[in-house]
Amino acid sequence: MKRSLTRWGWLFTGPTVLAFMIGFVVPFVLGVYLSFTRFTTVTKSKWVGLANYKGVFSDATFLHSLWYTAAFTIVTTVLINVIAFVVAYLLIKTFRGTNIFRSVFFMPNLIGGIVLGYIWMLLLNGILGYWARSITYSGSYGFWGMVILMCWQQVGYMMVIYIAGLQSIPTDLFESAEVDGASRRQTLFNITIPLVMPSITVCTFLTITNGFKLFDQNLALTNGAPSRMSELLALNIYNTFYGRTGFEGVGQAKAVIFLLIVAALAMLQNRLTRSKETLS
């Protein structure tokens, strides 16, 4: 079997690998290379060493959006996971309509980020209109606007994962806890939460990376206004590339730094929560 598998390797991997070269490997390698050059097009580039990286850290808009994105990610990760867990915890109980409620909470996930952005623009501007303000009034308005939008969109997704985790806990564990006279709180903190740790790992991972990579919703809701104060990292990089000629190299260097941040966060988060999982 193995030998004939090797012989047919070109058929099984060929198309994927070819597309992977076009869609990922070549752009990725070129991207890393270009971050060390000054360029306006891919074919016109001049090696400048670390100059672009120096440019990144002297760019105040980047430092602002880095801080802004970090704060945004922390707030959304905590809020989404806590709300999603509570909703999941309630919706696995038996009362009429739980299936319909789950469907309702999940639905915003299927609507694309651009459309979501404009839906919330209408609603938030409608409310803020009573004070003669709008979502682009200040960076903190945009911040909380995007937090609300993200929670609305993602609570249902994480809820679905938490429900699956909660349902996989064997019911006899709860029964024996009841026999032992454990209070509700004790059951929650000593049985339920430790046993849904795998779901918590997945959900925090997803919410952290989603927070850091958010682009469409940001573009549609505020587009960074006022004066780039509500600009998340992904949009900051986009604007550096396509908003200012001569700064393509800096944009590419920002993208490399962005990648390193996301990769480091993903690894760190995975290690942290996985170590908690083994305790349970």
Residues 220, 121 contacting (CB under 8 angstroms): yes
CB nearer other proteins, residue 32 or residue 75: 32
Site residues for other proteins, window 17-46 (CB under 8 A)?
17, 19-28, 30-31, 34, 41-42
Peptide bond into 226 cis (omega under 30): yes
The neighbour count for residue 83, using CB atoms within 10 Å, is 16
219, 225, 229, 250: which one binds other proteins (CB under 8 A): 219
CB nearer other proteins, residue 94 or residue 275: 94
**Residues 6+ away with beta carbon under 8 Å from 140:** none
Q: How far is the CB of 79 from other proteins (least distance, A)?
A: 15
CB nearer other proteins, residue 44 or residue 49: 44
216, 226, 269, 276: which one binds other proteins (CB under 8 A): 216
User: Does position 273 bind other proteins by CB under 8 A?
Assistant: no
Site residues for other proteins, window 46-85 (CB under 8 A)?
none
CB nearer other proteins, residue 15 or residue 74: 15
User: Count residues contacting other proteins (CB under 8 A)?
Assistant: 96
Q: How far is the CB of 74 from other proteins (least distance, A)?
A: 18
Q: Give, in order, the Cα–Cα distances in Å from 14 to each of 11, 17, 19, 215, 268.
A: 5, 5, 9, 33, 34
Q: Give, in order, the Cα–Cα distances in Å from 6 to each of 20, 21, 223, 277.
A: 20, 21, 51, 38
Site residues for other proteins, window 85-104 (CB under 8 A)?
90-98, 100-104
CB nearer other proteins, residue 7 or residue 49: 7
Q: Give, in order, the Cα–Cα distances in Å from 222 to each of 129, 149, 227, 231, 238.
A: 16, 12, 10, 8, 15
Q: How far is the CB of 8 from other proteins (least distance, A)?
A: 5
CB nearer other proteins, residue 229 or residue 257: 257
Residues 174, 39 contacting (CB under 8 angstroms): no
Q: How far is the CB of 200 from other proteins (least distance, A)?
A: 12
Helix (H) or strand (E) holding 201: helix 197-213
Q: How far is the CB of 246 from other proteins (least distance, A)?
A: 14
Q: What is the dihedral of CA 90, 92, 93, 95, to 10 degrees?
A: 100
3-class secondary structure, 79: helix
64, 190, 256, 269: which one binds other proteins (CB under 8 A): 256
Site residues for other proteins, window 119-178 (CB under 8 A)?
119-120, 122-123, 125-126, 129, 152, 157, 160-161, 164, 166-167, 171, 174
Residues 75, 147 contacting (CB under 8 angstroms): yes
The stretch among 47-55, 61-69, 118-126, 137-145 that binds other proteins (CB under 8 A) is 118-126
